[in-house]
Amino acid sequence: MTNFAAPIDPFAVLADYEARSLSHVAGLPEQIDAPGLWRGLGYRLGRWNMVTAIADIAELLTLPPPTAVPGAQGWLLGISNVRGTLLPVVDLKQFLDGERTVVHETTRALVIKQPGGNVAILIDELFGQRQFVDSQRVFPEESPEGRYRAFVTDAYQLGDTVWRVFDMARLVRTGEFRQAAVA
């Protein structure tokens, strides 16, 4: 007597895979887009813990070696070829406070969406995705001074850490940032 296995239903296999995958997600799907939930990518810029909206970030890279651009501001490190696309590479800390970023193994570049083409922004250290709810919004005792102030729009506290919201969309719209040539 021949024993045949029951045919495999591809839809059932996919449904099972989805159910098992969702059981490992930190939040349920309805919590991912819940009202009052804000998601960003956390990083360190100098001594400040910053977070930028996920929607403003196209990708994350290890620092691609830039080629210098003659006649550019010091904070424009140059341009890099990333998979056939030329990206300007900006040292954000130097743009904001004149202090050069020391490049080491934790240094990363956030590729930021902007009209006319993306730009790679150098950060000191990446911490990964962070989620906040309205009840975590705070008014920190200490705020960044100088140019930082124009781009830090909010703050959230998660445990003992205050995360300042850095508005990259506002940064890339400023004339000073868009004009990298030395006058």
* Mean pLDDT calculated for residue range 4-28: 66
Does the pLDDT at position 32 exceed 50? yes
Task: Supply the range of the domain harboring residue 100.
Answer: 39-178
Q: Would you say residue 183 lies in a domain? A: no
Give the Cα separation of 132 and 39 in Å (integer).
Answer: 6
Question: How many separate domains does the chain show?
Answer: 1
Write down the pLDDT at residue 4.
Answer: 61
Q: How high does pLDDT run on average in the chain?
A: 86
Q: What CATH number did the domain enclosing 104 receive?
A: 2.40.50.180
* Mean pLDDT calculated for residue range 31-60: 88
Q: Which pLDDT tens digit goes with each residue over 171-183?
A: 999 999 988 888 7
Q: Would you say residue 9 lies in a domain? A: no
Q: Would you say residue 23 lies in a domain? A: no
Q: What is the pTM of this model?
A: 0.77
Confidence of residue 24 (pLDDT cuts 50, 70, 90): low
Q: Would you say residue 91 lies in a domain? A: yes
Give the Cα separation of 153 and 138 in Å (integer).
Answer: 11
Give the Cα separation of 117 and 59 in Å (integer).
Answer: 13
User: How many residues are there in the chain?
Assistant: 183
Q: Would you say residue 18 lies in a domain? A: no
Q: Would you say residue 92 lies in a domain? A: yes
Write down the pLDDT at residue 30.
Answer: 44
Q: Would you say residue 171 lies in a domain? A: yes
Write down the pLDDT at residue 26.
Answer: 53
Say if residue 175 is exposed, middle or buried (CB neighbours under 10 Å; 0-12, 13-18, 19+).
exposed
Q: Would you say residue 5 lies in a domain? A: no
Write down the pLDDT at residue 5.
Answer: 60
Measured in Å, how far apart are the chain's first and last C-alpha atoms? 89
